[in-house]
Amino acid sequence: MPNWALNTDGLPPRDRDLAWQGAMQRLRLSNPDRLTPEAMQGNISWTTSDRGTEFAVMQAGPQSISGREAGQPPGIWVGVVVDGDACLDHDGSLTHLDSDSVLFGPTGARAALRFSTSFRLLLVTIPGRLIGCRLIEPLQVGVTSVRQHSGMQRIFLDLLQSTARVIDDLAAFELKHLENACLELLVGSVLSESRQASEGPLQLRQVYQAIEEWLDDPDLSIGKLGQKLSRSSRYLQKLFAAKGDTFTAYVLRRRLVRCKNDLVEHGSHGSISAICFARGFSDAGHFSRSFRKEFGMSPREWRAHCKASKLPMQSHAHQAR
């Protein structure tokens, strides 16, 4: 069920434009430029998860919707034009969009969607703190559209199109599963194209991705990883050595990053020991010492700091440094 919704059909014609503008501002979108003189006809539903991911479905007549407001918390927005014809206007260039296009960009980026027909649009906004801990390297991404889809990108597109149809009917526990699916597919498919240039040789990228998949396994070892990838331990050791790193140190840093995020995401509900054990640690004392060495404070101090500041975690350690 949506957190809030607007349908202009239930309003007097003279009030519709103002109501629509208010809804756009609530979505942190600028006031739309109308392309027709008639009173606005449209509807919006907006749903947010417990962790702050926003799902907005918008259906209306021709108009131009300009970029996101500056000063927003870091994050990524993803859009799909489910119905209608549109162009993405960014940096002075126009890109035609259709129902096979996925567009995404950082919150606060200047861009515009120009709809020449009636349309239906899904916008998903994901907080940066949920994305950063899943990335191997810091994300540097601009406003982009993707139309030539790989297999995983096609699955993500199908998920987004289905989301636009059923989001209003989902219960809270179902929304959590949808959010997790969107996160994993966004990072694993669409954003992967933006990360490849900074993640080193193809072989090492594959190793990093495999580690992410099995990171929570307490028995993960370089030998076990080698068996899964059909590579020798010596071969994997050389890949890490070429980057001035080791398998053990890399896995430790990635687990610490995941735990740092979990300490805030779980609030005061999850014990520190339970969080570290769930992320592959087998010794709570070793985890606490490693956490302090990496981040300059204990896990308990980090959680208290974020709670006292009343700010969502902006992980400055969203990479394996």
Give 245-287 pLDDT, tens digit per residue: 999 999 999 999 999 988 887 766 679 999 999 999 999 999 9
Is the distance from CB of 106 to CB of 76 less than 8 angstroms? yes
Same domain as 79, residue 222: no
Q: Are residues 169 and 293 in the same domain?
A: no
- State residue 136's pLDDT score: 62
> Is residue 314 in some structural domain?
no
pLDDT at 105: 87
Same domain, 188 and 217: no
pLDDT in tens, 157-214: 999 999 999 999 998 889 989 998 998 888 877 665 555 444 445 578 788 888 988 9
**What is the chain's mean pLDDT, rounded?**
84
Mean predicted confidence (pLDDT) in 115-121: 92
Question: What's the confidence (pLDDT) of residue 246?
Answer: 95
* Residue 173 confidence (pLDDT): 87
One domain for residues 172 and 258: no
- Quote the pLDDT of residue 110: 82
Give the pLDDT confidence score for residue 37 in this predicted structure.
61
* pLDDT tens, residue by residue, 56-112: 999 999 988 886 666 677 889 999 999 999 999 988 788 899 888 889 888 888 888
User: Is the residue at 299 inside a domain?
Assistant: yes
On the question of pLDDT at 30 being above 90, the answer is no
Asked whether residue 272 is assigned to any structural domain, the reply reads yes
On whether both 94 and 242 belong to a single domain, the answer is no
- Which CATH number fits the domain that encloses residue 278? 1.10.10.60
Structural domain contains residue 243: yes
Instruction: Let me know: does 224 contact 258? Beta carbons within 8 Å.
Output: no
Is residue 317 included in any domain, yes or no? Answer: no
pLDDT at 38: 73
Higher pLDDT, 133 or 84: 84
Q: How many residues does the chain have?
A: 321
Residue 55 shares a structural domain with residue 120: yes
- Tell me the residue range of the domain where 179 lies: 4-197
> Residue 304 pLDDT > 50, yes or no?
yes
* pTM attached to this predicted model: 0.71
Confidence (pLDDT) at 316: 41
Question: Last residue of a domain, which of 197, 230, 246?
Answer: 197
Q: Quick one: 68 and 157 in the same domain?
A: yes
Residue percentage of the chain with pLDDT more than 90: 45
Which of the listed residues 197, 224, 250 is the one where a domain comes to its end? Answer: 197
The last residue of one of the domains, among 165, 197, 229, is 197
Q: Is residue 316 part of a domain?
A: no
Number of structural domains the chain divides into: 2
